[in-house]
Structure 1
């Protein structure tokens, strides 16, 4: 098995491409060892010294390390070993019943519902594919019709990335404001 690695704009996150589908039902973000217990692979990755966060994309794993901790040259081999061991073992990506993704029901009506639909469509078709290339994801959190502010959540390599605020302002906000004039500003939620 050959696993490619790619740098991301976040110097503390590295993208691993095992050459197979991973999270086909949607991305999964693990911010702690407790959350990682849902997945044998995520749990194994958290056992590697210095791993701070794990993110499963459709065909990649992004691993974030602690700032100022071990270097990637020290961490890369144990991470590659954990990924390879997982796939050669035949274990499932998630333990039984742990892969479910819950989505809160949208409470938007009328014009606000149409605006939210347009925002989500732009995120899915234009923005998320570009962000995924960098090992991350961007999710719609909420829209405030009175102010025109859109709140988004960054995950994977984008979470904690030094350039994420620039990405939100220069890329995401400009794109949303261009196609959806009702949008006045984009903010990041944690």
Structure 2
């Protein structure tokens, strides 16, 4: 059995691009219920935009195997302002734009910035853990490290939010004291396109957040 101490966490940097893009392609998108349901196959454009954006904000983290230096998990985060709006046309792939629309709709319904009484928040965008490294609480550790990073005075950020797209990710956020603000049931949102998302573990998206 692999020891948890075999994995360490550090800040994401530019040289990690290829490993993180590969992790998203091989572990995140194939296992993510929505992307699997609508059969997303083209991920390079989205990965390129997201990774480069998160590197520049300097608050994303990777977990790596201390013996091989291979990245086995990533938490991609952005610092987002109240007046920032994500445009669906940022990527050309229609399926990824559809997912963006779902996330935008759940965010707009609650108005998370007002809920957390903040003008700027940490947005925990994507957490991906390689199959070989699951069972070591890496997702929760990456969330904790992200909060620890932006809670420093230099960032002047006092809250975070995320869209947990299944119960497994929701439980990771609960461990870090996130509260559920709202939820969106996939089949209610689109009964045709998301018809297969009926398993109670994967049937809804949760908007979660917390102050710190």
TM (norm. structure 1) is 0.34
If each structure's helix is expressed as a fraction of its own residues, which one has the higher value? Answer: 2
Greater C-alpha Rg: 1
Q: Return the TM-score normalized by structure 2.
A: 0.31
